[in-house]
Amino acid sequence: MPVYEYEHSGEGCPSRGKAFEVEQNINAKSLSVCPSCGCPVRRLIPLVHVSTPVTDSKYKEMGFTKLVRRDEGVYENVTGTDGQSKYVERDKPETLKGLTDNIAD
């Protein structure tokens, strides 16, 4: 059975904000109150199903290069590190300085 995560959400609940896990049948209704203290709870969305937008710094951390189009043929390297050009212009290979190692087609 899948495990669902709930969080105490009741105003004035002494356990407010505390999360707990409950094993439930996939077809079971989600709990509205905590089985142990009776406070209102809300079910948290399983983390694996959350699609959080990946930040530029995260991309950078993961070793990706992200280019954002700024103008016709001009791309900003938003994940640029020291030694890499900030802007990349189409048809200008010299603006790709430091990027050749990262870009794979």
Nearest to 90 by CA among 104, 105, 76, 101: 76
Interface residues with Zn ion (CB under 5 A) are 15, 34, 36-37
**Start-to-end C-alpha separation, the chain:** 43
**Of 14 and 53, which has the nearer Cβ to Zn ion?**
14
Cβ atoms of residues 21 and 4 within 8 Å = yes
Nearest to 65 by CA among 51, 75, 53: 75
**Of 20 and 75, which has the nearer Cβ to Zn ion?**
20
Nearest to 16 by CA among 29, 35, 34, 30: 34
